């Protein structure tokens, strides 16, 4: 990735920078990989990044949206996503959020419990509407990722137990104001081992066989969630995730029935690599270790503190021989560390640093802790 460093020099740091040319190339690759499958539908998981320009590029490319709150539904409709391509998941949907989704006429509610199904039916009845619902199933498939971001194990709070599925579907079919239209799964995030998705396909196949044996043949849609990971170690070598292998797993292992539509909810893989947090070095402090203290902290990018996540650190302005640093932020928390024992060109006050691969779950998870302002953001087109 090339950075407009001269332009950066004039800006107040820290800020997010989105390379929208890379974003567009990523979107083109997704579309080209699903081109041969008219029954594949990709919904962008809005939770990863709601930067207005980024959302606009994604909406214009023709992807749908995957939302987890009323706020996200509002935001994505404003950005131009059509309501009939919006899916809405979440274990705790409030009444106002369900009402908003009903008013908007979204494509589908991904329902996570029986009490939620009953409330959706009731609220839809009050409006004289019929809500399309899919059931989020907990497939009890482990995923090779950080414990805080696996979601498909029976110990996780998400979804309905696979064993209860027939009962819940029959229940929905007896209700007047919901229409059962599909099954929904999501096993975790930042998955790079394709075998995890193969295991998911096997589970879905088993479930579909079982449902058919019970006479349930009304599964029009299968939604396999998101989770495809990105290369945090080498963002310049792999700026675009391997969508080819990802979609190929489903084409090869998932037994879709005639006419069934397959839905994906990709977040990180769409926006992760195009975003960077740009920060300036405030001080270099030589103590027990050598610290590069920068003006961004866990308030702008919480992933290292929360998940031990690694983000590559590039000094954009120094080309001197390398030294070893702990790169830390200014927040009053010991966990406000981006990376420890990191080798990079000799660093001085005023240097510009890019924390790479920060497009997903970066800006959107920023906070105002320590009364800090939320970070600004710029895109490629702002510098043209
Ligand atoms: N669908 C559902 C139901 C989800 O829960 C998620 C993410 C996605 C799709 C999109 O997953 P993706 O394709 O982005 O992996 N804050 C964490 C990630 C949390 C993911 C939550 N659910 C992080 O910074 O790594």
Look at the domain 20-270 and name its fold. Answer: TIM Barrel (3.20.20)
Q: How far is CA 372 from CA 292, 360, 367, in A?
A: 20, 21, 8
Which ranges in the chain belong to alpha helices (H)? Answer: 5-9, 20-34, 52-61, 70-78, 95-104, 114-127, 165-173, 194-213, 243-253, 268-271, 303-307
How many helices (H) and strands (E) in the chain?
Answer: 11, 17
Give, for ligand 1, the residue of 41, 42, 43, 45 to mutate: max count of ligand atoms closer than 8 Å to Cβ.
Answer: 45
Tokens of 85: 């391509």
* pLDDT in single tens digits along all 384 residues of the chain: 899 999 999 999 999 999 999 999 999 999 999 999 999 999 999 999 999 999 999 999 999 999 999 999 999 999 999 999 999 999 999 999 999 999 999 999 999 999 999 999 999 999 999 999 999 998 777 656 555 555 555 566 678 888 888 899 999 999 999 999 999 999 899 999 999 999 999 999 999 999 999 999 889 999 999 999 999 999 999 999 999 999 999 999 999 999 999 999 999 999 999 999 999 999 999 989 999 999 999 999 999 999 999 999 999 999 999 999 999 999 999 999 999 999 999 999 999 999 999 999 999 999 999 999 999 999 999 998
Q: E strand or H helix at 88, and its extent?
A: strand 86-88
Helix (H, G, I), strand (E, B) or coil at 352: strand
Give, for ligand 1, the residue of 30, 151, 152, 267 to mutate: max count of ligand atoms closer than 8 Å to Cβ.
Answer: 267
Neighbours of 350 (CB within 10 A): 11
CA 266 to the chain's CA centroid: 6
Give, for ligand 1, the residue of 227, 305, 307 to mutate: max count of ligand atoms closer than 8 Å to Cβ.
Answer: 227
- Kindly list the domain boundaries of the chain, sorted by start residue: 5-14+273-383, 20-270
Bridge partners for 91 per DSSP: none
Atom of ligand 1 nearest to the CA of 110: 3
Atom 5 (ligand 1): residue with closest C-alpha?
186
Atom of ligand 1 nearest to the CA of 267: 14
Give me ligand 1 centre to Cα 228, in Å: 9
Atom 24 (ligand 1): residue with closest C-alpha?
361
Atom of ligand 1 nearest to the CA of 229: 15
284, 292 in Cβ contact below 8 A?
yes
CATH of 5-14+273-383, one of 2.40.37.10, 1.20.1740.10, 3.40.1360.10, 3.30.565.10: 2.40.37.10
């Amino acid at each position: 990735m090339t950075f407009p460093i001269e332009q950066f020099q004039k800006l107040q740091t820290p800020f997010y920078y989105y390379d929208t040319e890379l974003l567009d190339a990523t979107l083109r690759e997704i579309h080209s990989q699903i081109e041969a499958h008219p029954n594949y539908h990709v919904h962008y998981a809005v939770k990863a990044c709601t930067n207005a320009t980024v959302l606009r590029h994604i909406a214009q490319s023709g992807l749908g949206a995957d939302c987890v709150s009323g706020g996200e539904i509002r935001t994505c409709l404003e950005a131009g996503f059509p309501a009939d391509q919006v899916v809405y998941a979440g274990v705790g949907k409030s009444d106002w959020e369900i009402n908003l989704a009903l008013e908007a006429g979204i494509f589908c509610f991904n329902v996570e419990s029986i009490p939620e199904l009953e409330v959706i039916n009731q609220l839809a009845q009050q409006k004289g509407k019929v809500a399309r619902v899919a059931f989020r199933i907990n497939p009890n498939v482990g995923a090779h990722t950080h414990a805080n971001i696996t979601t498909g194990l029976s110990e996780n709070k998400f979804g309905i137990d696979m064993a209860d599925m027939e009962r819940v579907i029959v229940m929905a079919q007896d209700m007047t104001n919901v229409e059962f239209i599909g099954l929904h799964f999501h096993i975790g995030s930042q998955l790079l081992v394709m075998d995890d998705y193969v295991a998911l396909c096997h589970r879905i196949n088993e479930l579909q066989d079982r449902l058919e044996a019970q006479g349930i043949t009304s599964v029009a849609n299968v939604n396999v969630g998101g989770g495809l990971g990105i290369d945090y170690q080498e963002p310049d070598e792999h700026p675009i995730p391997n969508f080819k292998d990802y979609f190929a797993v489903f084409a090869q292992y998932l037994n879709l029935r005639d006419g069934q539509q397959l839905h994906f909810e990709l977040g990180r893989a769409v926006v992760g690599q195009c975003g960077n947090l740009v920060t300036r070095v405030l001080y270099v402090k030589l103590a027990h270790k050598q610290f590069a203290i920068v003006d961004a902290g866990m308030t702008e990018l919480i992933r290292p503190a929360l998940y031990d996540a690694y983000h590559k650190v590039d000094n954009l302005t120094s080309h001197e021989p390398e030294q070893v640093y702990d790169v830390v932020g200014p927040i009053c928390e010991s966990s406000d560390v981006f990376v420890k024992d990191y080798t990079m060109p000799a660093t001085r006050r005023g240097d510009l640093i890019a924390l790479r691969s920060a497009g997903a779950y970066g800006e959107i998870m920023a906070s105002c802790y320590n009364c800090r302002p939320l970070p600004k953001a710029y895109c490629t087109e702002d510098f043209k």
